Each structure stands twice: as C-alpha cells, then as structure tokens.
Amino acid sequence: MQDLLFLVPLLPLVSSIILLLLAGRLSPMLVAVFGVGSMALAAILTLLIGIEFLGMGGDSFQQVLFNWLPIAGAPLNFGLHLDQLSLVMMGVITGVGWMIHWYAAAYMFGDKDVQRFFVYMNLFVFAMLMLVLGDSLVLLYLGWEGVGLCSFLLIGFWQHKADNVVAAKKAFIVTRVGDTAMMIGLLILFSEFGSLHITTIVDSTVQVSQSNLWLACLLLVGGAVGKSAQLPLQTWLPDAMAGPTPVSALIHAATMVTAGVYLIARMHPLFLQVEGILNLVAWIGALTLVLAGVAALAQTDIKRILAYSTMSQIGYMFLGLGALAFDGAIFHLMTHAFFKALLFLTAGSIILKMHHQQDIFKMGGLFKSLPLTSTFLLIGLLALVAFPGSSGFFSKEAILAATYEAHTAGPTLWWIGVLGAFLTSLYSFRLLFIVCFGPANHDLKEADYKASSQLVVPLLPLVTLAVIGGFISLDFSLVFGPAHHPHIPLWIEWMPVAASLVGFILAWALYFPRKAMQANDGVISHFCRDGLGFDWLYEQIFTKPLQLFARINKSDVIDHFYHFVGWLNFSLNEVLVISQNGKLRWYLFGTLAGCALMLGGLLWWR
C-alpha cells in the first residue's frame, strides 16, 4: 500500500481540476461527490497505508516520483517522504478534512458558487499534503505558499462582502512577511549545505557557520510565526473568520495554522544545534497563549472567540516545541484538530440556526432549542479546557509537564501555561453560559434549519475523537528519539486542572444567567476586542509612514521623465501638424528639401 502514497495528495488535486474544468456543468450532488468523495478516498487510503506502515516497524519510506530540477549540478527529485511525523499529519489532514468537507457540502447547499468553493477546498488540502509529505524544502515551500494562496481565495470566497475581501488581503499580506523570512532562511541553508533535501540537511555532519545557521533558524521561526498566527504576526487570524465556517474549521484544525508547528518539528535537529532559538520559540508561544486568552474574553463574535482560542492552543504547541517536547506538541496538534473542528462546525450549525447571526449576546437559551448541538459544543469546550479524561487533557498535560523541567526558565514558562489554562477555562465557559444558558434573545420558531441531519452526522466522529482521542498512542521514537516521561510532583500535574476549575467558578459567577446580558463597552473591553491594539500599532508604524512616503514621492524623478517624454511627443506632433496644412507647394518644397539633404549627406560622406 505504501507504493500508493502518491495517490493521497493526487486525489484532492484531480478532484479540484475536474471541478474547475467542468465549472457550471455539474449538479450540486455531483459537486459534492467529487469534492467530498476524493477526501473520503484519501482518508481511507491514508488509514490503509498507516496500518501497513506501522505494521512494518515505522521505518521511513521514500517515494521518488521523478527527477525534477537540477540545482547546483545535483538533481532535485520530486519525492514524498513518509515517517511517523508525516503519517500523523497526513491522518489529521485527510481524516478531519473529510469530516469538514462532508459538513461543507450541507453548509454550502444552495450557494451558487459551491463548485468554485470545492475547487479551492480540495486544492487547499493538496497543498497542505505536499507541505507535510514533500521530501525537500522546495516541495515544502511550494505547499507552504499553496496553503497561503488557497486561504486567500477561501477567506475572500464571498467576494460581494467588502469585509471578506479586506480580511483575505490582510491574511495574504501579513503571512507574506513570514513567508519572505522563510524563503531567505531556505536560501541560507542551501548555501551552507549545498542541498535542499530535508534528510540531507538534518542528517548532515558538514561543518557550517554557526552564525549563518542561527540566522537561518531564526528566519524559519519567522515563517512559522506568520503561518501559525503567533506574536507578532498573529493579527490576520481573527479577521480570517469572515470566510465560510467550514473554511475556518479547515484553516484552524487541519491545515494552515499547524504548518508552522510542523516546520519546527520537522527541522528540529537544526534548531537543537543553535543556542537560544528554541527558548525564543517557547517564549513566543507562552506570550501568545496568554495575550490570545485575554483578547478572547472580550470578543462577542462566536467565531472570533474560537479564533483566539486557536491562537492560544498553537501557543501551547510552540511552548512544547521550545521545551523539547516535540512529541507532545504534535500530540496536541492532533487532539486540537479533533476538538477545534468540532467547535467550529458546531458554531456553524448555530450560526445557520440563528440566520447567520454570530453575536453571542444575541443568542442565548440554545440548550433548550438546540440540545444536541449544545451538547456537542459542551464536549468540544471541555476538550479545549483540558477537562480530565478528554483528548485535550493528555496532550496539554504532556506539554506543561515537559515545560516545568525543561530549563532554567521552565518554571516561569510553566506558570504562564497555567495562567493560560485559567484564561482558556474562563472564556470557554463564558461562551457556553451566554450561548446555551443565557436568556433567549431570538425567536427560532420559524427558523429554517436546512439539512440538519447532514450537518450532524459529520460531527459524530469528531465528538468521539474529542472524547477518546487522548488515548491514541503515538510513537515518534524514530523521528524525535526515545520519549521522555518527566517525573514531577503531583501538585504540578494537577495545578492546571485547578486553574481551569477556578476559571469555571469565575465564569459561573460572572456569566451564568440571572438577567439579560450585554457586551461590556468599556475602554479596556474595546482594547481587548480590537486585538490588544496590534492593528493600530502596525498602522502607525508601517501603514501611515508608507502612505506618507508614497504621497511625498508621488512626483519623483521617474514620473518627471515620463511626463517629459509625453510633452516631447506632444510638441513634435504640434510641429508636424503645422507642416500638414493641405498646400501642395509646401509638400513639394518638403520633398525637394529632403532629397537635397540626402544628396548632400551622400556627397559629404564620400
């Protein structure tokens, strides 16, 4: 079965091409068959390949499809690499992606551009699969840019909405900063190692410049920060919620924001050679998880709350990477995919029920009107807050335990992680109490809840995995080395749970319904709701100075040159107009004068 590895990324690509070529010629049912069916086949094939791969011991498998580009005299193969890390990533992308596609077929039912939607969605999955399966940094980077392009297309899918277009541009531009840094980092690696094959670089024993290696790793971290929405390039993610809800689920659970975590995990041998870089990764994650938690507390849009929760959970993954808990970070990536896809798709069901209303203070009482959907929301939130026994509990505990004994800054970072657990619990139960148990601020009697069964069925596997996903045993020993199980005091293990309990109690005291609730309009709330002022800061530092520079240099030397060329042509034209006056004697004179000049020139040259 491993020989069929190439089919896993090929299936969504072929489906995307077919849907593109047959645009406007397929019924909605056939669009769903191609869009969802290709993902189902890719997921089933991934499962079969995984069973065979693990049964054979989990040794890495290389599949060279063809020789691609010669670089510096050495051939660069178009090849795929399968190991324990890429298998887990492939399973998350195809498995969770299948459920999201299935849900999207019902969610987007009736949209006139549903075929274009699945063209982008399947292309998105193909790009992410190439990112995690590519055996070279060239293929990884092509997939990296591919998910950036597809996110731009999907966030701005509803082009008639100005906010969507602005959000798509913002996501594309902000992530370009990180992508540019990453590209420069890859060029430095090529100059040092003379190769772009991942295994060649990470297994190399060649002596390289430590300063260049440090710079390359720093630039790779910049790329990871941009794609995974970590400080200071996190501003694009909340605005990206303007796109359709299945797009939000795919970006947050199975594709784009996990790319940065995968990049650092895949290239971890390089980071281990450079002093201080992984400490930087840990601090970026720690600061992001706290600031995102604070911002989530002030949000009123249900999808923006979940967006900030994603930012925070990716922060935990960065914290784990920085604490050398690479296996714990990938474990949390997997469990996060389960419960975050569940949360976004459940939110999508609520939004449909509420006639596309996303303000949590205009919902309320949904546990009575939508008991099943509210139960799914509760299960997803319990996994998010790492309730004991849920999938999120095991993976987050693994990260925090490793962080505590990681290095000299370990206890400090651990306390920040505990603070993040408190904030996660507080904003999660705030959301639950207001949406499901708050006073009803709506009338759902006449609501048209379309395709309800089709929206529920794809959630069932995600609910199951959100509950039991933490019991899945992942072995990364051949990628990250033997697993290390830290021995820490019992109180250290249960402190995050205690912090979550305090968050629950505070949320109960503040938000459990006793009277009608409304959003806080204070200065601090607005500051947090606007992303803690990062957008304003970047506008002052970058946008306004650039606009001023453009105004000052609007008429520069180049513009003056072009204006002179235009004036010269206009003046010559005026001269020619004078000569073309319709009088025959002037034409005859001009002809004779021209002949005389040519004859004089010939005689002079002789």
Residues 448 and 354: their CA atoms lie apart, in Å, by: 9
Per-residue pLDDT at 75 exceeds 60: yes
Taking the C-alpha atoms of residue 312 and residue 528, their distance in angstroms, rounded to an integer, is: 15
CA distance 332 to 338: 10
| pLDDT reported for residue 115 | 94
Q: Which of 125-139, 349-363, 577-591 has the lowest mean pLDDT?
A: 577-591
pLDDT per residue over 312-345, tens digit each? 999 999 999 999 999 999 999 999 999 999 999 9
pLDDT in tens, 425-472: 999 999 999 999 888 776 665 444 444 678 899 999 999 999 999 999
Which own/partner contact pairs does 58-63 have at CB distance under 8 Å and 24+ positions apart?
58/83, 58/84, 58/475, 58/478, 59/478, 60/478, 61/2, 61/5, 62/135, 63/2, 63/3, 63/5, 63/6
- pLDDT at position 258 over 70: yes
Kindly report the average pLDDT of the chain as a whole number: 89
Mean pLDDT over 140-157 rounds to 95
Instruction: Tell me the pLDDT tens digit for each residue of 174-229.
Output: 999 999 999 999 999 999 888 889 998 988 767 788 899 999 999 999 999 999 99
Amino acid (one-letter) located at 308: Y
CB 295 within 8 A of CB 529: yes
